[in-house]
Each structure stands twice: as structure tokens, then as C-alpha cells.
Amino acid sequence: MTDTASPLLSSADYADAVAAAVAASAAYYTDGSTPLGDDEYDALLRAITAYEEEHPGEVLPDSPTGKVAGGAVQGDVPHSVPMLSLDNVFDAQELTDWAAGLERRLGRPVAGWCVEPKLDGLAVAARYRAGRLVQMLTRGDGLAGEDITHAADAVLGLPATLTEPIDVELRGEVLLTTAQFEEANRIRLAHEAPAFAHPRSGAAGTLRAKDRPYRIELTFFAYDAIGLDLDLSHSALLASLAVLGANTAASSAAAPLRCESLDAVQQRIDEIAALRAALPFGIDGVVVKADTAADRHQAGSGSRAPRWAVARKLAAEHKVTRLLDVEWNVGRTGIIAPRAVLEPVVIDGVTVTYATLHNPADITRRDLMLGDLCYVFRAGDVIPRVEAPLAELRDGSQTPIVFPSACPRCGDEIDTSEQRWRCVRGRNCQAVASVIYAAGRDQLDIEGLGGTRAIQLVESGLVTDIADLFTLTRDQLLALDRMGETSTDNLLAAIETARSQPLNRVFCALGVRGTGRTMSRRIAAHFGSLAAIRAADAEALAEVPGIGTEKARVVAAELLELAPLLDKLTEQQVGTQVTEPQRPGAAEAGDGADTEAAGEAGPLTGEAVVVTGSMTGPLAALSRNEMNELVERAGGKASSSVSKRTTLLVAGEKAGSKRTKAEELGIRILTPEEFAALLADHLPQD
Ligand SMILES: NC(=O)c1ccc[n+]([C@@H]2O[C@H](COP(=O)([O-])OP(=O)(O)OC[C@H]3O[C@@H](n4cnc5c(N)ncnc54)[C@H](O)[C@@H]3O)[C@@H](O)[C@H]2O)c1
Ligand SMILES: [Zn+2]
């Protein structure tokens, strides 16, 4: 989904666009279930307007242009004075042009402006008789609204009684502040009602709802009145609304401000935009109004909007996108946190691909499913978060989010007693997992340091990271359960051998994301020592052949965190040996990612091969890395995950989901024996 709708080229495209806009508006103003973000809706409307300007004879009667609420909603209580919308401008130049147009119409400069936040809620009219609130209405189609008086007592800032016993109609915006939105969703979920996907749709639904078994509070901000002195400037009117007891935006940091010049207006817009992320309520723009009564009266209003005011829109903070996947990451303290993988969406100029999901209970309560369209919120520098799904828009392709049954990092149990799930190993989770990885055959190759022993070493407190392995003493090891003299001596000898493993293996043992064996070898060859690697920044790393700037940045960030460990390893004289030469035909593998190196010519030329399950027959002794090397030697490309690009799956015993997926995709599947026969000439000779 983009912010710029492409131009409409035919009357059929135009009719489709009108239908889409009307449907979106109807959804937007009733329950908020529109599939379009505001930017997308605005872009669609701009395309419709442009088409209508080019083809004035073709304008459809139900076109949303020129109508309040796009003509999508009605009401049955007539308004005293029409409740209009606002025209929009999207940048400083458009604002300047708009102001110039207004001054041309007036035939004189505007005598001062009032600049105030554009509150992202719903317009209401609140009628008072002798100072008492008697009726509340929605904007409807601008000429008549719906009676929503039943909702008035839950609206903070909208007094039941004014400070003066006058007849007046207050107009303003009703919204859910950020705190009210969170509280509302807490209450909704406790009542097993679906969470609100967006504060505005939550406010719209709440204003309309009757007979709910719970109460959700909203907030009113007054910005207009019918029945007060007609000669008041707008800024003076706002002040008298506050005196009457109504809440106004003057109560916030983005308080309305009178500005004498358009430069001052632009400056205030920038200030309010900068305050936006910190405001306790959502705004979708800044409203600029001619301040004096004389200017406003003379400018007058069109059928949809006044001519004396304009909304300078700000980029939407909420966007609709699709939830593609949920990743489970284990933090330093063992907290297992879900992270949403999204169809990339641009929010306020930043492409968002990931968003936080809090915890599993929250996912369940929000009833999120993979494939759902959902609102994603990003404001300022905060981490984007997924709000509730647009469950009305499900098409049957959605699937449940599967929660992990074991710690995704160390494989041990998960403590699910708290809202935030945690690996039972807590802080030790990371240590255990990294020691097991480092001791692996392709890294430091420390025989006798498998799962149980790694756990024992970490839990005894002797080892907190891999450098600690090199300071273990015989006495320390002998004091551990089930550690006899022989196994102690063997382990110490294996560790001693590991100390002189070449630099590339030591680097690989660090488990830096995105650096498997090949990349570790390249990094080691490029820098030559652990100290040089430690000193490398993203720029220096980017010079490593084939790394790319993005990976260089990620590696640099992780190395910064690992600096103390690198120092400890250097102190222990680990990794001082030169890099081992690349084995002939060996290619990068074991990163869990597609391999980079292109294969050589052979029986697998052009094949993208995935190996799964346990190997049998002539391949029984090969590790997964050796299998991958074999694939590359035979000219193929080895990969760890089945995708549409996969052409061949080698499925050994206990092949699970990869086999199912390959079958679904119609990919050729061979047994290890069949595969071995195909590659007879390339099998390792020993
Ligand atoms: N996503 C969708 O499918 C969809 C559909 C329809 C409309 N929309 C969004 O709604 C917008 C149009 O809606 P609209 O007609 O309500 O216009 P609007 O929200 O752009 O502007 C008019 C409204 O601004 C509000 N407002 C807030 N603060 C104000 C202030 N200080 N002074 C005066 N008014 C203030 C009032 O409610 C007023 O009616 C579009 O720009 C679009 O972004 C989205
Ligand atoms: Zn764990």
C-alpha cells in the first residue's frame, strides 16, 4: 500500500475509486473497520478529485468529493448551523498557496491566525439550555447528526453544567486519549470484547454504543460554539469556552496560539508536529484559522468546509498492514518476546517491518492471527507496535499464531506462569546456548562439551561466557558431579586444543548473527587478529568482501556488545592462530540463510537444494554442513529453508514440516540413498 495513488485513467477506474472511497468512509465513520490508512484514503480522494477536474461531465452523484464525511453517513437531528469538515494542505507550500488564496478573496492580508492541534477524534455538538447539557449530536452528513446524548456522561471535559446558565451549543472533538485507549482495551478484553484497533474507531464505537456492561471514558476538546458573541476572535472564543468549564486544547502542550504572520504559523506547526509523539492524545494535523471575526465572516464557508480555516495534515501514525509472521526472541534475561514481522509499510517516512507484540497473553486477548490486516502504530522514535487486528476483514486465509513449546534459544522449558514468558534458565539461557554453539564441530570443536556439560558448567557458575572455558582448572572440574579424572583431563585437553584454533573458527564461535563459516573466514582473513576485529566499525567491516553495508552494520553493533568478551579471549591467547585455508569447494553454510557462493558445474548445477531429516546410507556420517558442502561441490546451491525457489529436497528419516511444505509446492524429493547415487562422484573419499 502506498501513499500516492496512481492517476485514474478511465471512467471505469474512476467509478471503482469512488466506490472504494465511499465504502471506506462508511466503515471509517461507523466502526473504523476501513482497510485503508488515512494517507491511502487521502491519496485516493486526490486521484478522484483530479479525475473530476479533468472530466467534469463524468462526476458521479455518489462521489465523496465536496461532501462532509464523503457523503457516507447520515443523521436525523438537524444541525443549527452546518457542521463542516476542513480542507487539507499537505506541506508548507500548499499552506502558503492556500493563505494567498484566502487573502485574494478578502482583498487584504489576514489579520492574524490561530494555530491549534487537529484532534484525531469525532466532531460532536453539545447543546446546553440554561447552562445544562441537554443533547449531544454527531456531525453526520454535516446538516443532520445522530443523537448520542446517552454517551455524554462518559465524556470528560464536557461539563453537565456550565459555569453560566446560558443557551449555547459547544462544538469540539471527542476522542480517546492514549491512556483512555489503553484502559478501554483493558476493559474490553476483560469483558471478552475485541480490542479497539485504533483510538478513533474506539471513540466512534463508544459514542454510538448503548447498553454496554462496562463504561469507557472519553475526552472532549471544545473548539467552537454557536450562540456566543459573534464578534469574538477565534482565540478569544477558545478562552471563553474554557471559562464556561469546557476542556480545550489550551490544557495541553500543543495549546492554540495566535500568530501574526504566516512565518510564525509555519513555526508553530513545526513545534506542534515536534510535540506530537509526546502529547497524551492523537493528532492528525494542525488547524490554521483566520483569527478575527471580520476575516471569518467575510471569507464565509463552502458546502463542505469553511474558507477561513485549513488543516495542515501530518503523516499518519497509524497504518494498516499485514501480519506475516511472529518471531520469538530470547532476551538477555531469558524473556521470550514475540515480535511481529509485517508486510513493510511506510509510517511517517520510515519503513516499518517489525513491531512489538508485548506477550503471548496479549496476542491471545487481541485475537491476532497470521495474515491479519492490522493497525500498526509508530510515533516519534518509539518502537512500532501492533494494535488489534481488523477482524472484520478476514478472508479465511488467516492461521493461528503458534506459541513456542520450548525455549527457542536453548531448547529448555518455558516458564509461562507470568505474562512475560521466560526461559527457565533465565540469564543462563544465553550462556548455555552460546557455549554449546561455540563448542560445536564447525567452531572450536571441543569434544566432550555437549548440552549436559555446558548446562552443568553454566549452572555451577564456573562459566558465564566462552572465554571462561579457558580459565577452568582441574580442581574446579573435579568438584562437579559426575566428573571423573579421565573426563576432566579429556575436557581440559580439548579446551587446550581449542585455544589454538584458527581465528576464523574463534570468530565463528562468537555466534554473531549473519556470520557463518565463510563470512567468519573472510572477516578473519581481512582483519588478521581479534584485536583488529574488536576495533572495526561498520565502515571497516563493510570492506570485507561480500559482506554488504547492511550486514556490516549489524555485525558492528553486535561486536560492540561483545567487546568485553573479545578482550577476555585475547587475554587468554585464544584466536592468535592464522586463518585456516578454505577447504576446496566449501561454501558458506550453517547460517540458517541461503548460501551466497555460487556452485560449480556438476550434477546439481542450477538446483536449489534443501537437506532435512537424518541422513542414512552413504551419507549417514555427514553433518549438515558437510551435506551443504557436498551440494555446493556438485554445483548446486544449498539452503536451509524450503521456498518456491527450492528445486530439490533431500528428505532423510524424521523429515517434518520441510517435507510437507516441499510436497505442497510440488518440489522433487529424494531419499538420502537416491541422492548419494546421484552424487556418487562427489562423495567424500575416506
Ligand atoms: N481511512 C479511511 O478509510 C478514511 C475514510 C474516510 C475519511 N478518512 C479520513 O478522514 C479525513 C476526512 O475526515 P473529516 O471530514 O472528518 O475531515 P478531517 O478530519 O480531515 O477534518 C475535519 C474535522 O477535523 C476535526 N477537528 C479536529 N480538531 C479541530 C480543530 N481544532 N478545529 C476544527 N476542527 C477540528 C473536526 O472533527 C472536523 O470535522 C480524511 O482526511 C481521511 O484522512 C479516512
Ligand atoms: Zn533458553
Class of domain 503-571: mainly alpha
The three-state DSSP-derived secondary structure of 455-497 is: HHHHHCCCCCCHHHHHHCCHHHHHCCCCCCHHHHHHHHHHHHH
Q: Taking residues 158-165, report their average pLDDT.
A: 98
Q: Tell me the residues surrounding ligand 2 (ion) with CB < 5 Å.
A: 407, 409-410, 412, 423, 425, 429
Q: Find out whether the beta carbon of 41 lies less than 6 Å from any atom of ligand 1.
A: yes
Ligand nearest to the CA of 432: 2
Per the annotation, does 313 bind a ligand?
yes
pLDDT for 656 equals 82
Q: Taking residues 286-311, report their average pLDDT.
A: 97
Q: Is the pLDDT of residue 193 over 50?
A: yes
Q: Find out whether the beta carbon of 118 lies less than 6 Å from any atom of ligand 1.
A: yes
Per the annotation, does 594 bind a ligand?
no
Residue 599 CA, chain-centre distance (Å), reads: 37
Measure Cα distances from 519 to 206, 346, 511, 587 in Å. Answer: 56, 32, 11, 10
Interface predicted TM-score of the whole assembly (ipTM), two decimals: 0.96
**Least confident residue range of 24-38, 177-191, 499-513:** 24-38
Give the distance (Å) from ligand 2 centre to CA of residue 443.
Answer: 21
Class of domain 77-313: alpha beta
Q: Find out whether the beta carbon of 173 lies less than 6 Å from any atom of ligand 1.
A: yes
Decide if 77-313 and 503-571 have a common fold: no
pLDDT for 585 equals 45
Q: Whose CA is nearest to atom 41 of ligand 1?
A: 42
**pLDDT tens digits, 521-569:** 889 989 988 889 999 999 999 998 888 888 898 899 989 988 999 999 9
Burial of 245 (0-12, 13-18, 19+ CB in 10 A): middle
CATH of domain 608-682: 3.40.50.10190
Read off the DSSP letter of residue 656.
-
Q: Whose CA is nearest to atom 36 of ligand 1?
A: 123
pLDDT for 683 equals 74
Q: Which atom of ligand 1 is nearest to the CA of 68?
A: 15
pLDDT bin (cut points 50, 70, 90) of residue 3 is very low
- pTM of the shown model: 0.68
Per the annotation, does 522 bind a ligand?
no
pLDDT bin (cut points 50, 70, 90) of residue 598 is very low
Size (the chain), residues: 686
Positive/negative CA dihedral, 69, 70, 73, 78: positive
Q: Whose CA is nearest to atom 29 of ligand 1?
A: 118
Per the annotation, does 141 bind a ligand?
no
Helix boundaries (H) for 60-129: 92-106
Class of domain 11-71: mainly alpha
Give the distance (Å) from ligand 2 centre to CA of residue 412.
Answer: 5
CATH 1.10.10.10 describes domain 428-499: no
Per the annotation, does 139 bind a ligand?
yes
Kindly state the cell numbers that stand for 552: 556490516
Ligand nearest to the CA of 423: 2
Give the distance (Å) from ligand 1 centre to CA of residue 66.
Answer: 13
Sequence-separated (6 or more) residues with CB below 8 Å from residue 215: 154, 187
Q: Find out whether the beta carbon of 28 lies less than 6 Å from any atom of ligand 1.
A: yes
Instruction: Give the span between the Cα atoms of 172 and 175, in whole angstroms.
Output: 10
Per the annotation, does 289 bind a ligand?
yes
**pLDDT tens digits, 414-467:** 999 988 999 998 878 888 888 988 998 889 999 888 878 888 898 888 998 899
Q: Find out whether the beta carbon of 123 lies less than 6 Å from any atom of ligand 1.
A: yes
Cα 113–Cα 119–Cα 120 angle in degrees, nearest 5: 145
pLDDT for 214 equals 96
Strand partners, 352: 345
Q: Find out whether the beta carbon of 86 lies less than 6 Å from any atom of ligand 1.
A: yes
Q: Find out whether the beta carbon of 308 lies less than 6 Å from any atom of ligand 1.
A: no
Q: Which atom of ligand 1 is nearest to the CA of 118?
A: 28
Kindly state the cell numbers that stand for 588: 558458506
Q: Find out whether the beta carbon of 311 lies less than 6 Å from any atom of ligand 1.
A: yes
Pocket test for ligand 1, best of 118, 291, 317 (most atoms within 8 A of CB): 118
**pLDDT tens digits, 45-72:** 999 999 999 999 999 999 999 888 888 8
Phi, psi of 259 (to 5 degrees): -125, 135
Instruction: Give the span between the Cα atoms of 579 and 637, in whole angstroms.
Output: 25
Q: Find out whether the beta carbon of 89 lies less than 6 Å from any atom of ligand 1.
A: no
Give the distance (Å) from ligand 2 centre to CA of residue 408.
Answer: 7
Q: Is the pLDDT of residue 599 over 50?
A: no
Per the annotation, does 87 bind a ligand?
no
CA-nearest of 680, 646, 636, 652 to 666 is 646
Instruction: Give the span between the Cα atoms of 194 and 398, in whole angstroms.
Output: 17
Q: Which atom of ligand 1 is nearest to the CA of 123?
A: 37
The domain locations on the chain are: 11-71, 77-313, 318-400, 428-499, 503-571, 608-682
Q: Whose CA is nearest to atom 1 of ligand 1?
A: 38
Ligand nearest to the CA of 410: 2
Residues forming the active site: 118
Q: Find out whether the beta carbon of 201 lies less than 6 Å from any atom of ligand 1.
A: no
Pocket test for ligand 1, best of 124, 138, 173 (most atoms within 8 A of CB): 173
Q: Whose CA is nearest to atom 10 of ligand 1?
A: 38
Give the distance (Å) from ligand 2 centre to CA of residue 423.
Answer: 4
pLDDT for 426 equals 84
CATH of domain 318-400: 2.40.50.140
Burial pattern 621-630, b for ≥16 Cβ within 10 A else e, equals ebebbbbbbb
Per the annotation, does 637 bind a ligand?
no
Q: Find out whether the beta carbon of 69 lies less than 6 Å from any atom of ligand 1.
A: yes
Strand partners, 611: 650
- 579-583 contacts, C-beta under 8 A, 24 or more apart: 579/502, 579/503, 579/504, 579/521, 579/524, 579/525, 580/502, 580/504, 580/505, 580/521, 582/518, 582/521, 583/629
Q: Which residue has the higher pLDDT, 194 or 98?
A: 98
pLDDT for 370 equals 96
Q: Which residue has the higher pLDDT, 316 or 265?
A: 265
